[in-house]
Structure 1
Amino acid sequence: METLLWEKTIISSEDVGDDWDSIFSNDTDDLGEDVCDQDERMRFKATFIPLLYSLVFVVGILGNGALLGVLFRSRRGWSVTDIFILHLCVADVLLLFTLPLWASEAVSGWTFGTPLCKLTEAVFTINFYCGIFLLACISLDRYLSIVHATQMYSRRKPSVIQGSCLVVWAASLLLSTPDWMFSKAQWDDRRNITLCVHNYLMFGPLASRVGPLVINLIYHVVGFLLPSAVLIFCYSCILHRLRCGSNGLQKQRASRVIVVVVAAFFLCWTPYNITLMVDTLTSDSNHTCDGRSRMERALIITSSLGYFHCSLNPILYAFVGVKFRRQLLDILRTMGINVKTRGRFPSTTSSRKSSMWSESRDTSNSIAV
């Protein structure tokens, strides 16, 4: 979860024999003192993680449940963006269901066995890749629709949209292969507890040195830098076009919602990627106990911020998207819950007529807008 290279590669004396002392020489300082005390780190995790993950779990389940309800209520009028949002929501829900397991590990260790360890580690990776790949697909669709007045996807060809989503899921599953290979529930002698970790030594000493670096490099380049470049390029062109040209109000609203969603993704995941990158670049240096403790806390906090993202999108739709608020209120009213609102929402018919380009209708008529 919080992928510290020096922590996630748990090594047992049976794996390395006489090299045990040399491998853990980084756990002692120049004066030859004892191994770093783990109590403070464990107390921090046992306090911080359960509280935060419980909050994210409750808010995320309620928010994504409401989003799924709105989506299925209007499934006959789904736009291209709505289909991508549906897949994004499913990925977030899958990740949310792993949070109670991680909270339990922080308090009492991993008690769920190796298969579930592999699954939960893989879900974290799949969610991250799915999130940014789906946002890249949405940005490309909007870029072609708004800037070039052409369509990459159309509701008249749903197989193309579903095929793109299938490719995203397949690519994310493929990129999670290291989690399926290396994740393991293993006893940690230093902490006297079982943890869900990446054990690279199962494939030899070379894998323990090279594996984490290669995996993190792929994570940074394929999962963050390249998709980020696509998102920044597409939305820079879109914002320039909207600023310079005359565009329909609906198109501007649609772009505003997705820009906010993309910005939220970067705000939640950039700190974790920067912290992980620093950890990757400094993994071979001789850290002090205090330095490793700070790095672990930084990775725990920033990865938790990434987890928080899976509960954030429905909140953003509720505050920014007019259609989403209207349809959510309609669902609440059918349940007997009357919510007073200020002003009146535009009708679905009028919002559809506000689109000036027929090519953009599939893109702009999203329930999130």
Structure 2
Amino acid sequence: MVSITTENVTQLYNIMTTQELRINLADFHNTSGVYQMNGSECINLDAWNWLHTSQPGFLWFIFILGAIENVFVLSVLCFHKSRCTVAEIYLANMSLADLMLVCVLPFWAINISNKFEWPFGLFLCKTVNAISYMNFYSSIYFLTLVSIDRYLALVKTMSLGRMRRTACAKWNCFIVWMCALLICLPTMMFRNLQYFKEYNITACSLQYPATYWQPANNCLLNIVGFVIPLCVTTYCTIQIIKALRSSELQKLKLIQTERRATMLVLAVLLLFIICWLPFQISTFIDTVSHLAGTFKCLENINEIVTQVATYCAFSNSCLNPVLYAIVGKHFQRKAAEFYKDLFPKRCRKSQSVQMENSLDTLRTSFSSECPRKKSVFPLPR
């Protein structure tokens, strides 16, 4: 294999990294050569080298931490003896989406460590990207559904209460997954293995049929994937806060329970915005630079910003379970009950064995004392 120098690594990042890590989420860049100018004109090469060496380790860290945490959340929500509430159904599906995302990160870690040589074949090239792409849209819309559920619970309690049934929630989740799958179809169609002769590698790259696909995907991500759900959740949040401050509602005991559930939802929503907003901003900058075509320096700087924003976005998948454990009092109680019922079975078995041994000892002691009592106090004849 041809050795890849520092300059080649920089160029490869301009061609491949944005596609492999950013497109992991939104498939923005194509490989038509639009971004093949040398990034060293505006960016220190040490920045690219730092990214190249630090990315695999960070991806593995997010994978391990996120997989453990999201499996824990799903086990509590899905296997607890009580039925899930509507909000918990949405949060469980969001946790599933996060688990799917972190499970594909090792493929990208290996790919980067392998100098962008994709060793997993065409099927995984398409599947890994499709799963990554589905995660973003499904996560934001599950959060939107949770916000709507809180709105119905606190603001439209009587008029629209029938919409908070679990059967309706499951259908909503199914629709979200199908829509996310539909949106990621271009990723599955246009992702292919491409041989780069100058680097002697076969990379998993995105090959758009026309240049307008990139800004179109950017707009889709910004508008459909962020602005619209953000407007809905903002409206719901404002109405929820007004309802929680209402003196009449504060007297109801049920509202106190709904208040605690709402605090968890608002915390998860705020964390999602904090983690994903930098990525959304870098996407908008990418659209501007692509359409204008004159901001080459901004374009190259934005490549670095996008990489950092991508990892900030990835981190959301392993931070949500931490919020459940810290803010979610109801989740804490469920987790305690679930593992209390799961593990003490052996303890109860050992306690019963101890009890039987104690009874056996007592019987033996009693039987040994019986002859003595017979000799001292003979039965009457």
The residue identity in structure 1 corresponding to 2:77 is L
Which runs of 5 or more structure 1 residues have no equivalent in the other structure? 12-22, 337-369
**3-state secondary structure, aligned to 1:310:** helix
Q: Rate the CA distance shift 1:323–1:160 in 2: closer, same or farther, 3 A.
A: closer
- d(CA) in 1 for partners of 2:86, 2:169: 7
The residue identity in structure 2 corresponding to 1:128 is F
Q: 1:2 aligns with which of 22, 28, 34?
A: 22
The residue identity in structure 1 corresponding to 2:67 is I
Query: Superposed, which structure 2 residues align to 1:29-178 within 5 Å?
Result: 43-74=49-80, 76-108=82-114, 109=116, 110-150=118-158, 151=161, 153-155=163-165, 158-178=166-186
Partner of 1:221: 223
**What's the offset of the Cα at 1:304?**
1.3
TM-score scaled to structure 1, two decimals? 0.77
Partner of 1:195: 203
1:58-98, CA deviations, whole angstroms, 9 ceiling, x for partnerless residues? 11111111111211232542111111112111111111110
Q: Rate the CA distance shift 1:38–1:9 in 2: closer, same or farther, 3 A.
A: farther
- d(CA) in 1 for partners of 2:56, 2:99: 18
- d(CA) in 1 for partners of 2:80, 2:164: 17
Q: Rate the CA distance shift 1:94–1:38 in 2: closer, same or farther, 3 A.
A: farther
Of Structure 1 and Structure 2, the greater helix share is in 2
CA contact (8 A) 2:147 2:236 kept: yes
The residue identity in structure 1 corresponding to 2:29 is K
- d(CA) in 2 for partners of 1:60, 1:6: 23
The residue identity in structure 1 corresponding to 2:168 is V
1:344-363, CA deviations, whole angstroms, 9 ceiling, x for partnerless residues? xxxxxxxxxxxxxxxxxxxx
The residue identity in structure 2 corresponding to 1:81 is A
Partner of 1:243: 245
> Percent of aligned pairs with the same residue?
27
CA contact (8 A) 1:27 1:36 kept: no
**What's the offset of the Cα at 1:332?**
4.4
**3-state secondary structure, aligned to 1:77:** coil
TM-score scaled to structure 2, two decimals? 0.74
**What's the offset of the Cα at 1:331?**
4.2
CA contact (8 A) 2:86 2:164 kept: yes
User: RMSD of the TM alignment (CA)?
Assistant: 2.9
- d(CA) in 2 for partners of 1:37, 1:114: 33
Q: Rate the CA distance shift 1:301–1:35 in 2: closer, same or farther, 3 A.
A: closer
CA contact (8 A) 1:114 1:185 kept: yes
**What's the offset of the Cα at 1:295?**
1.8
Aligned: 1:260 with 2:267: yes
> How many residues align structurally?
312
Q: 1:182 aligns with which of 175, 190, 201?
A: 190
Q: Rate the CA distance shift 1:73–1:57 in 2: closer, same or farther, 3 A.
A: same
CA contact (8 A) 1:179 1:198 kept: yes
- In our comparison, the structure showing a higher alpha carbon Rg is 2
CA contact (8 A) 1:3 1:276 kept: no
- d(CA) in 1 for partners of 2:34, 2:221: 26
- The structure with higher relative contact order (CA 8 Å, sep 6+) is 1
**3-state secondary structure, aligned to 1:311:** helix
- d(CA) in 1 for partners of 2:305, 2:72: 32
1:266-308, CA deviations, whole angstroms, 9 ceiling, x for partnerless residues? 01111101111101111242454x6544222211111111111
The residue identity in structure 1 corresponding to 2:87 is T
Q: Rate the CA distance shift 1:70–1:322 in 2: closer, same or farther, 3 A.
A: same
Aligned: 1:316 with 2:323: yes
The residue identity in structure 2 corresponding to 1:105 is N
Partner of 2:308: 301
**What's the offset of the Cα at 1:10?**
1.6
Which runs of 5 or more structure 2 residues have no equivalent in the other structure? 1-20, 345-381
Partner of 1:273: 280
- d(CA) in 2 for partners of 1:127, 1:51: 21
Q: Rate the CA distance shift 1:103–1:42 in 2: closer, same or farther, 3 A.
A: farther
